[in-house]
Every structure is written in structure tokens, then in C-alpha cells.
């Protein structure tokens, strides 16, 4: 029990909360066919965080959030610029913007890597769930001991706040979000401000990506945005049910992923741990695969567009 | 540091560096070419899925090779593994976007992250294995030409050259496919098969580029050069050529720069070199670059002000806009106090007459005028044939007196 509380509880909670907030937002991304915005934002979180670290010398959350937020804004502006001026399609513009910024991030990371403080390419890419140890959680009573609770890794509180924020956003902006996802023109005619909603959605995606970044790294967070909602999409036609399915799938991926990564090798008799973040995306992918194969609403009604 | 870079640039920094530079030049050209075709088919980000899907195959191959010979670093085996899993990823993307109601963007994102996740899991398996060569694997993520063996450089250079040749041969069918599938079909070029060939070539370029730019950044080399080339030309042939040249230049600059210091990541520098070329094109390309457009816009605004000012002069209306006054004065049409000069009066008469002709043309031939789509700023004699102008002049209604 003590081992579970110390080593597994916090990663489970952090992974679950991250996956819930990402899945919630990911529903709208999948509906709007903007899944790759999540890809772009997740990639540029890295240079943003590295830049803020180099400028402020600290890894404090506000600095990281600001850095990644600024990077996201720069990326979006760059994408718009490239699309308008270059007259290429959105995905190409995205590709140029986020790969260049990511390369800049890698360069900054490697070149300043001599400092070696807590930030290195591997962790930025794969996340660091395994390091979220609750040293004070050595007995069951620690769960309601304020002093022990104060020793919880700060990532947990951060991720909890972000999940709350995301939940609030989805609740408050529900109508504009839903309308804008299906018919932007109609939404505009009703005064639902699709442009503003889109902007806010992207900002929330950036916030959720940054919070999840620490847990699962910048590339695996994409799995959290896309796989559970995509699987849910294939299960039902109704948006509320889709949201519910996506949260279930997200929770399942997170919990199974963390458990399999931490204890799976032990069950096979090997004394090692696997990457929790990687496992989470693998489980999410398996769920998606099952949904693609057996989901009740997986069929396309019309033939695919070219 | 500059001397070291110059030495690398002029191919005089050692045998290995020379080989790698040449290989990356060829790779950049191949990536630019294949990327242009993918861009023209509007599937630019599928290369992201392909590149990230190489990781599990890479790791699995490493494990197999390490189990067989203790050290997992055997380039041909690793590249084969990478190609296999990338092919699987491609199949998954196609299957998902064709047979379910998910869009291609969701398919790409899902395959990208899930395959990469599987690869990460396998990487942690490798970490737990008592085998050698693990540190070298991270070079496949962000590119590391520093520790490359000569044999590896030969392999990569050779494959890049082969790809380049294949792309040059398939160049015309691929373009035909993109712009006129029916004609391509009559020429015996099957759409789906050619699509598969294109994606296969993309896969090959990705796998070859793994060692040089790393899998996370190879996608940049297939996207940035074509987008850069887009600023210079509207023609597809030229697009492919310029993209190849840009890609080659980016590979050349990036690899030579990273050879100067072992801590400089190759992939990042290649991509940043490509991005610099892109920025330069964005700003300075003629006609489509930012500067060219700003100049064009400036000139257009000037002409509108001039024309409107002259029309106002012709109708004896007062001009209040300071910009118009300034422009007319600069061109010599008005004096400092706003009074028209003789030259200005003549120009105003011409402008007024042109305006009447254009207006009458729009009235008499509305569809043709709409198709012409001009702003009426251009002289009518330059856009319409003389006999039509004669006819318009004859039929021009008499001028109504101004109120």
C-alpha cells in the first residue's frame, strides 16, 4: 500500500487528469478536422519552455506557461502569414511553422545543455511521469494528513487546476463550441462568435498541452488529444455521448497505461519499468483500433473526398 | 569556428565530413522533390506520420540486432526496421481515413502519436537491456552525423542518389497525376498505384534521412523547401526544381555547420537552414514575397489616388485628401496651391474620357467587362482592341451637364 501511494498514486492521478482535459478539448478538434493544431501546439511547447528557461533561468510554472503560450501565439501567427502569403494549404503552413520552431527548440536545448538542469530532450519528448514520487505517502493515513498532502508533487495541483479550467471552459462555451464545430456560418449569424471561440479553443489546447507536457512529453500529448475522442466518434452520433465515451476511453488509457508500464514487466518477471507515457498512447491507440474495427458508427456514409 | 565551417563548406574538412555533406546534399534534393509532389497533392503532413512511425521499427530492429550480436547499431538493419513500421503506419493512416468517418488529420495525428508511443516503450525496453550502442539511438531522433562511419555515409549517400534518380524518372507521371488524373489514366498511369509510389518514395526519403536529420525533423525537409519554392514560381516543374535546390542547399549548410562542434545537433541546423531560406523567400521573392507585395500595394494606392484626383479635377470638384494632393503635385498635375497646371488639365481630360469609355463598356458589354476584371486604372487602349475602342467612341452617349 505504501509503495502504491508513494510511487503510483500521483502518476495515476496526473495521467488521468491530463488525459481527461486533453480528451475534452480533443473532441472539438476532431470534429473541426483540426487535429493537427494539437500536433503543432504540442511540438512548439518545447521551444517555448526552453526559451523561457533560458531567459528566466527558472522552470517555475508561470514562466513555462508563458513561454509555451507565447510560442503557441507566434506559431499561429506564422501559420496565418504563411498561408496568406504563400497560398499553400493549412497543413503545409503548419508543417513549416512548427517544425522550424521545434528545430530552434532542439538547438537551444542541446547548445545550452551543459547546464543539464532538469530539462533534456528525452524528458521533453517522453515526459516524466515516473519521477512524480510522493515521499510522504508512506501510509494510508497520509491521504488525509495535511502535512503529508503538502508534500505532494506540485504537478498534481497544476494539472488539477488546468483540468478544472478546461472543464469550465467547455461548460461555459458549450453552445458556441458546438455550433462552430458544425456550421461556422450559422454560428456567426446567431452571434455565437465562431472566430473568438476558435481562438479560445486553441488557447485552451495550448494550456492543456503545456500542463500535460510535463507528464507525458510533447509528442505523446497528441495521442491524448486525438485517440480517445476519435474512438468515441466512432461509437455514437450524439455529441454528449461522444464526450462521455471519450472521457471513459481517456481514463482507461491513462490508468491502464500507467499500471502496465509500472507493473507489466514485473508480471513477466523482469525487474524494470517501461515508459508510462508511451504505454498510455499505446493503450489509447489500441482502443482506437478496436473502435475502428468494431465501433457501431464507424462507417462513412458518403464516399471519401478524393 | 568560422574557419572550421569554411573548411567543411569547401569539402576539405576530412573524408567523413565530405561524404556526409554530399549525402545530405543529395538527401535534401530528394526530400525537396518528393515533398513538392506531396505538397501539390495537399497531403503535406502525412510525412509527419511516416517519420514518427519509424521509431517502433527502429527500436525493434535494434533489439533484434542487439540480441544477435550484442551491439544493436547496424545501419541497414535499423533502416529496414524503420521502413517496415513506417509502411505499417502509412497503411494505418490510409485505412483509417478511407474506411472510417475520421478525417485524414485525425488519422495522421493518431498514427503519429501511437506509433511514437510504442517506439518510446521499446526504447525503455532497450534501456533495461544489457546491450551496447544505446546512446547512438538518440541520434536517430534529432540527427547526429558526428559519429557516422564511412560505410554508413556511403550507404546513405548511395540511397539518396538512387532516390533522386527515381524521382527524376517519375517526375512527369507524378505531376500529371496531380493535375489531370483523367489524362493520366488515359496514359496508363493508375491513380491509386501512383499515389502508393509517391508515398513509398516519401517513406524511402524519410528512412534515408533518419541518421542525418533525425525522425522528428525529417518532415521539415519535405515541407519547408517546397513551400519556399512556392514563393518563387507558379509552375509545377519549376516548383519541383527549386524545392530540390533549396533542400540541397539546406542539407549542405546544416551539415557543414553542425560538423564544427559535436554538440550542435545536425537535424536542427538543417531545418533551421531551410527555414532561413524560407524566410528570405517570404520577404524577398519577386511578385509573391512580402516586400514585392508591399511595393505593389504602394504603387496601386498611388495610381488610385492619381486617377481619382484627376477625375476630381476634370469635374471641377475640390480635393481634400492630403495624400491625393501630394501625389498630384509630385506628378506635376497641380500647383502648390491646388490649382491645376496645363499638364494636369490635359491629364484630367484624358482620365475623364477614359472613365466614360470604361463605364460605357461595362454598360454595353457587362459579361466581358466582368471577365476582364480590370480596375479601370489601366489605359483602355492597352486592354481592348482598336476597333472595339472605335465603336465605343462612336456610340458614346453625349455627356450630361454636371449638377
pLDDT, mean of residues B34-43 = 88
The backbone region for A302, taken as left when phi is positive above 0, alpha when psi lies in -120 to 50, beta otherwise, is beta
Closest CA to A19 of A149, A198, A166, A131: A166
For residues B188 and B347, what is the distance between their CA atoms, to the nearest angstrom? 60
- Residue pair A161/A207 in contact (Cβ under 8 Å)? The answer is no
Written as one string, the DSSP assignment of A247-294 is HHHHHHHHHHHHHHHHHHHHHTT------HHHHHHHHHHHHHHHHHHH
Q: Give the domain ranges of chain B.
A: 2-223, 291-395
**H helix count then E strand count, chain B:** 19, 0
Alpha-helical segments (H) within A87-193: 90-111, 121-126, 146-150, 154-172, 174-182, 184-189
Q: What residues in B contact A288, CB-CB < 8 Å?
A: 110, 114
Average pLDDT value over all residues in chain A: 83
Put simply, the answer to whether B223 touches A96 (Cβ < 8 Å) is yes
From the list A30, A99, A104, the residue facing B223 with the nearest CB is: A99
Report A:24-43 residues touching B (Cβ under 8 A): 30, 33-36, 38-39
Per-residue confidence (pLDDT) for residue B402, from 0 to 100 = 57
Q: Return the number of other C-beta atoms located less than 10 Å from residue B255's C-beta.
A: 28
Other beta carbons within 10 Å of B206? 27
Nearest CA in chain A to B122: A274
A207-211, B184-188, B221-225: range with lowest mean pLDDT = B184-188
Instruction: Give A268's Cβ-side CA count (13 Å radius).
Output: 10
Q: Is residue A100 within 8 angstroms of chain B, CB to CB?
A: yes
pLDDT of residue A304: 59
Do A85 and B282 make contact, defined as CB atoms within 8 angstroms? Answer: yes
User: Is it the case that residue A115 has pLDDT exceeding 50?
Assistant: no
- Return the CATH fold of B2-223: ABC transporter involved in vitamin B12 uptake, BtuC (1.10.3470)
| pLDDT-derived band at A54, boundaries 50, 70, 90 | confident
d(CA B62, CA B294): 53
CA–CA distance, B364 with B367 (Å, rounded to integer): 9
Confidence of residue A63 (pLDDT cuts 50, 70, 90): confident
Task: Say yes or no: A119 contacts chain B, CB-CB below 8 A.
Answer: no
Do A25 and A225 meet the contact criterion of CB atoms below 8 Å apart? yes
Total-model pTM: 0.85
Chain A residues inside the 8 Å CB shell of B97: 304
Q: Does position B367 have pLDDT exceeding 70, yes or no?
A: yes
| In contact, B79 and B142? CB cutoff 8 Å | no
Q: What ipTM did this prediction achieve?
A: 0.90
Which residues, 6 or more positions from B287, have their beta carbon under 8 angstroms from its beta carbon?
B293, B296
Residues 6+ apart with CB under 8 A from B78: B58, B61, B62, B65, B72, B140
Pairwise CB contact (< 8 Å): A275 & B42: no
pLDDT value of position B60:
92
Alpha-carbon distance A260 to A283, whole Å? 9
Residue B266: pLDDT band (50, 70, 90) is confident
Q: Which domains, from first to last, does chain A contain?
A: 2-138+155-293 (1.10.3470.10)
Confidence of residue A120 (pLDDT cuts 50, 70, 90): low
Instruction: Determine the pLDDT at residue A305.
Output: 58
**Is any Cβ of chain B less than 8 angstroms from the Cβ of A220?**
yes
Mean local confidence (pLDDT), B159-182: 82
Residues of B whose CB is below 8 A from A227: 110, 113-114
Q: How confident is the model at residue B195 (pLDDT cuts 50, 70, 90)?
A: confident
Whether B114 and A113 lie within 8 Å, measured CB to CB:
no
pLDDT at A114 over 50: no
How big is chain B, counted in residues? 403
Query: Are A86 and B227 in contact (CB < 8 Å)?
Result: yes
Q: What pLDDT, on the 0 to 100 scale, is given for residue A121? A: 59
Question: Cα torsion at A270, A275, A280, A282 (round to 10°)?
Answer: -80
Task: State mean pLDDT over B136-152.
Answer: 73
Chain A residue numbers with beta carbons less than 8 Å from the beta carbon of B124 are 272-275, 278
Rounded distance between C-alpha atoms, residue B32 and residue B244, angstroms: 4
Closest-approach residue (CA) in chain A for B126: A274
For position A19, what pLDDT does the model report? 92
Which residues in A lie closer than 8 A to residue B109 (C-beta atoms)?
35-36, 38-39, 222, 225-226
Please tell me the least confidently modeled range out of A24-38, A199-213, B1-15, B118-132: B1-15
Contact assessment for residue A250 and residue A19, using Cβ atoms and an 8 Å cutoff: yes
Residues B141, A103: C-beta atoms closer than 8 Å: no
Q: How far is A167 from chain B (nearest CA, A)?
A: 22
Better-scored residue on pLDDT, A220 or B270: B270
What pLDDT, on a 0 to 100 scale, did the predictor assign at position A303?
61
Amino acid at each position: 500500500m505504501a509503495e502504491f501511494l508513494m510511487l503510483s498514486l500521483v502518476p495515476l492521478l496526473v495521467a488521468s487528469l491530463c488525459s481527461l482535459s486533453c480528451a475534452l478539448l480533443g473532441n472539438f478538434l476532431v470534429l473541426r478536422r483540426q487535429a493537427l493544431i494539437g500536433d503543432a501546439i504540442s511540438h512548439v511547447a518545447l521551444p517555448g519552455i526552453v526559451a523561457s528557461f533560458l531567459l528566466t533561468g527558472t522552470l517555475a510554472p508561470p514562466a513555462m506557461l508563458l513561454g509555451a503560450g507565447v510560442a503557441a501565439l507566434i506559431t499561429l501567427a506564422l501559420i496565418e502569414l504563411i498561408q496568406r502569403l504563400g497560398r499553400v494549404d493549412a497543413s503545409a503552413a503548419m508543417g513549416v511553422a512548427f517544425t522550424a520552431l521545434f528545430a530552434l527548440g532542439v538547438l537551444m536545448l542541446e547548445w545550452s545543455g551543459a547546464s543539464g538542469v532538469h530539462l533534456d530532450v528525452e524528458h521533453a519528448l517522453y515526459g516524466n511521469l515516473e519521477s512524480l514520487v510522493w515521499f510522504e505517502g508512506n501510509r494510508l493515513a497520509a491521504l488525509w494528513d495535511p502535512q503529508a498532502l503538502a508534500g505532494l508533487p506540485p504537478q498534481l495541483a497544476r494539472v488539477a487546476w488546468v483540468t478544472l479550467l478546461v472543464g469550465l471552459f467547455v461548460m461555459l462555451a458549450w453552445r458556441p463550441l458546438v455550433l462552430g464545430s458544425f456550421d461556422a456560418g450559422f454560428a456567426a449569424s446567431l452571434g455565437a462568435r465562431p472566430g473568438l471561440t476558435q481562438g479560445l479553443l486553441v488557447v485552451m489546447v495550448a494550456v492543456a498541452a503545456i500542463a500535460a507536457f510535463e507528464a507525458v512529453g510533447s509528442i505523446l500529448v497528441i495521442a491524448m488529444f486525438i485517440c480517445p475522442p476519435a474512438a468515441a466518434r466512432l461509437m455514437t452520433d450524439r455529441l454528449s455521448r461522444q464526450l462521455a465515451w471519450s472521457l471513459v476511453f481517456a481514463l482507461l488509457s491513462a490508468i491502464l497505461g500507467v499500471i502496465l508500464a509500472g507493473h507489466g514487466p514485473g508480471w513477466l518477471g523482469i525487474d524494470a519499468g517501461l515508459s508510462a507515457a508511451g504505454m498510455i498512447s499505446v493503450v489509447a491507440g489500441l482502443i482506437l483500433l478496436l473502435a475502428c474495427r468494431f465501433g457501431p458508427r464507424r462507417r462513412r456514409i458518403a464516399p471519401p473526398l478524393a | 569556428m568560422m574557419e572550421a565551417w569554411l573548411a567543411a563548406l569547401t569539402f576539405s574538412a576530412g573524408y567523413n565530413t565530405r561524404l556526409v555533406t554530399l549525402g545530405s546534399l543529395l538527401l535534401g534534393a530528394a526530400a525537396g522533390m518528393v515533398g513538392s509532389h506531396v505538397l501539390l497533392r495537399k497531403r503535406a503532413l502525412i510525412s509527419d506520420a511516416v517519420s514518427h512511425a519509424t521509431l517502433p521499427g527502429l527500436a525493434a530492429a535494434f533489439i533484434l540486432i542487439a540480441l544477435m550480436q550484442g551491439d544493436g547499431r547496424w545501419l541497414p538493419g535499423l533502416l529496414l526496421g524503420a521502413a517496415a513500421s513506417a509502411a505499417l503506419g502509412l497503411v494505418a493512416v490510409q485505412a483509417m481515413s478511407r474506411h472510417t468517418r475520421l478525417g485524414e488529420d485525425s488519422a495522421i495525428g493518431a498514427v503519429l502519436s501511437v506509433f511514437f508511443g510504442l517506439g518510446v516503450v521499446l526504447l525503455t525496453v532497450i534501456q533495461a537491456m544489457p546491450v551496447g550502442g544505446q546512446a547512438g539511438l538518440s541520434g536517430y531522433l534529432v540527427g547526429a552525423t558526428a559519429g557516422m562511419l564511412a560505410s554508413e555515409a556511403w550507404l546513405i549517400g548511395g540511397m539518396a542518389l538512387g532516390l533522386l534518380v527515381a524521382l527524376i524518372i517519375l517526375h512527369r507521371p507524378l505531376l500529371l497525376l496531380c493535375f489531370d488524373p483523367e489524362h493520366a489514366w488515359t496514359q496508363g498511369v493508375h491513380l491509386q498505384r501512383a499515389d502508393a509510389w509517391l508515398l513509398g518514395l516519401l517513406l524511402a526519403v524519410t528512412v534515408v534521412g533518419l541518421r542525418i536529420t533525425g525522425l522528428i525533423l525529417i518532415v521539415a525537409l519535405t515541407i519547408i523547401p517546397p513551400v519556399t519554392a512556392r514563393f518563387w514560381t507558379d509552375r509545377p516543374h519549376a516548383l519541383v526544381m527549386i524545392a530540390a535546390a533549396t533542400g540541397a542547399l539546406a542539407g549542405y549548410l546544416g551539415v557543414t555547420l553542425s560538423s564544427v562542434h559535436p554538440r550542435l545537433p545536425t537535424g536542427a541546423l538543417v531545418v533551421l537552414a531551410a527555414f532561413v531560406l524560407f524566410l528570405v523567400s517570404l520577404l524577398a521573392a519577386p511578385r509573391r514575397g512580402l516586400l514585392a507585395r508591399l511595393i505593389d500595394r504602394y504603387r496601386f494606392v498611388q495610381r488610385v489616388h492619381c486617377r481619382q484626383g484627376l477625375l476630381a479635377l476634370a469635374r471641377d470638384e475640390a480635393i481634400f485628401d492630403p495624400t491625393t494632393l501630394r501625389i498630384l503635385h509630385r506628378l506635376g498635375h497641380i500647383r502648390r496651391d491646388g490649382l491645376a497646371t496645363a499638364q494636369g488639365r490635359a491629364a484630367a481630360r484624358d482620365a475623364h474620357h477614359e472613365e466614360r469609355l470604361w463605364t460605357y463598356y461595362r454598360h454595353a458589354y457587362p459579361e466581358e467587362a466582368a471577365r476582364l476584371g480590370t480596375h479601370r486604372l489601366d489605359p483602355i487602349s492597352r486592354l481592348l482592341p482598336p476597333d472595339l475602342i472605335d465603336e465605343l467612341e462612336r456610340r458614346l452617349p453625349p455627356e450630361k451637364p454636371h449638377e
